[in-house]
């Protein structure tokens, strides 16, 4: 061994080796765990495809799911049917002593497609049990509504999932994901429309306009908001913001997608702010001087030079904000009204994918079709988050950087 070589690798201590290996093992373990979670989630959802599930019965139009908030049990006629999936849930129902909730109102708009603005949601946010008629009534509307499906051939699981009603518990569980998708998109969109401009403007202010002392306070303060427990934000929206907004707008629903969007934007703003602020601060100060020397004002400089120069970072900030709003669970459960309506109006309640998993996973029958569908939703959430991150990575790095930072 030539010892003279000044660049020769020095013999290392045992401790360095140990540290290196520890890091390697921990890193591969954590990567493995990520993959294991992924595999587990897929395995749980795969039971949907592999096992022969109970025939999913589904009337084509049913409004019940749209009118209540958290259907623990939906049981149109309380007499249990032999061989039905709901035998388990019926037991739960009996032990729960369901209160009868306003049986008459549901009859209104029974035949209308999804969104009927009956007063149910406004009266009660979280009915524990929704049970339109506790005793079987001959010739009731439910029976009439249920009649058509018997003429149909049994709908497949796919038809069920792509249907328009999410009402997973009951005799005829309906796993229509459209209301959830619409609710998710609706609230995410509102959250981003509120959160992204505010976050970016705050970042611009903090990066270029705020006096240094203010900036030193402002940045940690907003970052602190990012660490705010989302349940607290949710509770704040549920109590304060919802009442305030209802006083102002006189909206029919106290909790609606707008409140949820505002709540989510409170979670999104700090993320957008922090990342956008870092991106803006990273733009060379010389660029600002060059622009100012041409006789532009501070705002012109900020908008026309600094913001485009930081565009990749700002874009990434917004995408990460979208990811947060998309996956946020607690705020969505508490502030949106949590009713799976397929309506695009921001004034109606909404339920997001994450909120559905959050509120139903605790009560789902293990291994049931419902359980599988919830995991399917989880996979969908994952795929979208993954897609957003991939988009950030690929689009931002490939396109924007090329465009703004040299060919």
The answer to whether the CB of 41 falls within 8 A of the CB of 51 is no
CB atoms within 10 A of CB 342: 24
CA distance 81 to 364: 20
304 binds another protein (CB under 8 A): yes
| Cβ 285 to another protein shortest distance, Å | 8
Q: How far are the Cα atoms of 60, 111, 238, 287, 314 from residue 292, in angstroms, in the given order?
A: 64, 65, 46, 9, 22
Q: Which of 244, 294, 383, 390 binds another protein (CB under 8 A)?
A: 294
| Cβ 398 to another protein shortest distance, Å | 14
309 binds another protein (CB under 8 A): yes
308 binds another protein (CB under 8 A): yes
| Cβ 287 to another protein shortest distance, Å | 6
302 binds another protein (CB under 8 A): no
CA distance 396 to 388: 11
Angle between helices 178-204 and 257-281 (to 10 degrees): 40
| Cβ 299 to another protein shortest distance, Å | 11
Exposed/middle/buried for residue 343 (C-beta within 10 Å: 0-12, 13-18, 19+): buried
210 binds another protein (CB under 8 A): no
Residues 123-142 that bind another protein (CB under 8 A): none
CA dihedral 53, 58, 60, 64 (to 10 degrees): -130
Encoded one letter per residue, x for contact with another protein by CB under 8 A and - for no contact, window 80-119 reads ----------------------------------------
Exposed/middle/buried for residue 345 (C-beta within 10 Å: 0-12, 13-18, 19+): middle
Report H helices in 69-174: 87-96, 120-123, 141-151, 157-161
| Cβ 312 to another protein shortest distance, Å | 10
290 binds another protein (CB under 8 A): yes
Of 249 and 300, which has the nearer Cβ to another protein? 300
Which of 226, 65, 57, 220 lies closest to 146, judged by CA? 57
| Cβ 263 to another protein shortest distance, Å | 36
The answer to whether the CB of 347 falls within 8 A of the CB of 262 is no
Exposed/middle/buried for residue 18 (C-beta within 10 Å: 0-12, 13-18, 19+): exposed
Of 53 and 296, which has the nearer Cβ to another protein? 296
Q: Which stretch binds another protein (CB under 8 A): 157-165, 177-185, 187-195, 299-307?
A: 299-307
| Cβ 304 to another protein shortest distance, Å | 7
Q: Which stretch binds another protein (CB under 8 A): 41-49, 98-106, 229-237, 398-406?
A: 398-406
**Token pair recorded at residue 136:** 């079987």
| Cβ 85 to another protein shortest distance, Å | 60
214 binds another protein (CB under 8 A): no
3 binds another protein (CB under 8 A): no
Which of 86, 169, 177, 230 lies closest to 378, judged by CA? 177
Q: Which stretch binds another protein (CB under 8 A): 25-33, 171-179, 219-227, 296-304?
A: 296-304
**Token pair recorded at residue 182:** 């619409």
Q: What is the DSSP letter of 3?
A: S
Of 223 and 298, which has the nearer Cβ to another protein? 298
Of 93 and 288, which has the nearer Cβ to another protein? 288
| Cβ 196 to another protein shortest distance, Å | 21
297 binds another protein (CB under 8 A): yes
CA distance 15 to 8: 20
Distance of CA 166 to the CA centre of its chain: 16
Residues 229-288 that bind another protein (CB under 8 A): 284, 286-288
**Token pair recorded at residue 135:** 């005793």
Distance of CA 400 to the CA centre of its chain: 28
How many chain residues bind another protein (CB under 8 A)?
24
| Cβ 274 to another protein shortest distance, Å | 22
Which of 132, 112, 12 lies closest to 68, judged by CA? 132
Q: Which of 291, 329, 342, 352 binds another protein (CB under 8 A)?
A: 291
Q: Which of 289, 387, 394, 399 binds another protein (CB under 8 A)?
A: 289
Give residues in contact with another protein (CB under 8 A): 212, 284, 286-297, 300, 304-305, 308-309, 403-407
């Amino acid at each position: 061994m030539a010892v003279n070589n000044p660049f020769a690798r020095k013999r290392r201590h045992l401790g360095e080796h140990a540290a290196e290996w520890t890091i390697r093992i921990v890193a591969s373990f954590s990567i493995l765990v990520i993959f294991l979670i992924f595999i587990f989630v897929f395995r749980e959802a795969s039971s949907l495809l592999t096992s022969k599930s109970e025939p999913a019965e589904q009337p084509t139009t049913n409004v019940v799911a749209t009118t209540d908030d958290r259907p623990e049990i939906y049981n149109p006629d309380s007499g249990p049917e032999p061989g039905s999936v709901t035998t388990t849930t019926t037991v739960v129902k009996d032990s729960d002593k369901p209160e009868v909730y306003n049986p008459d109102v549901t009859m209104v708009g029974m035949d209308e497609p999804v969104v009927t603005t009956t007063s149910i949601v406004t009266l009660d946010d979280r009915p524990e049990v929704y049970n339109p008629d506790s005793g079987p009534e001959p010739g009731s509307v439910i029976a009439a509504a249920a009649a058509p499906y018997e003429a149909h051939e049994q709908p497949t699981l796919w038809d069920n999932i792509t249907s328009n009603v999410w009402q997973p518990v009951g005799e005829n569980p309906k796993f229509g994901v459209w209301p959830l998708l619409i609710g998710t998109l609706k609230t995410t969109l509102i959250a981003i429309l509120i959160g992204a401009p505010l976050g970016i403007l705050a970042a611009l202010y903090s990066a270029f306009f705020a006096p240094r002392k203010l900036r030193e306070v402002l940045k940690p303060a907003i970052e602190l908001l990012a660490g705010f427990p989302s349940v607290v934000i949710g509770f704040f929206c549920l109590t304060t913001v919802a009442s305030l907004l209802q006083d102002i707008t006189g909206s029919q629903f106290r909790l609606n997608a707008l409140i949820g969007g505002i709540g989510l934007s409170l979670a999104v703003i700090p993320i957008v702010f922090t990342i956008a602020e870092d991106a803006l601060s990273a733009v060379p100060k010389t660029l600002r001087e060059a622009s100012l020397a041409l006789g532009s004002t501070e705002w012109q400089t900020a908008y026309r030079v600094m913001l485009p120069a930081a565009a990749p970072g700002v874009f990434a900030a917004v995408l990460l904000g979208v990811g947060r709003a998309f996956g946020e669970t607690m705020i969505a459960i508490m502030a949106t009204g949590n009713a799976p309506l397929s309506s695009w109006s921001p004034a109606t309640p909404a339920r997001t994918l994450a909120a559905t998993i959050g509120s139903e996973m605790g009560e789902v029958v293990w291994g049931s079709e419902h359980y599988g569908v919830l995991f399917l939703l989880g996979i969908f959430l994952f795929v979208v988050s993954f897609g957003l991150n991939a988009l950030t990575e690929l689009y931002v790095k490939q396109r924007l950087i090329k465009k703004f930072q040299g060919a």
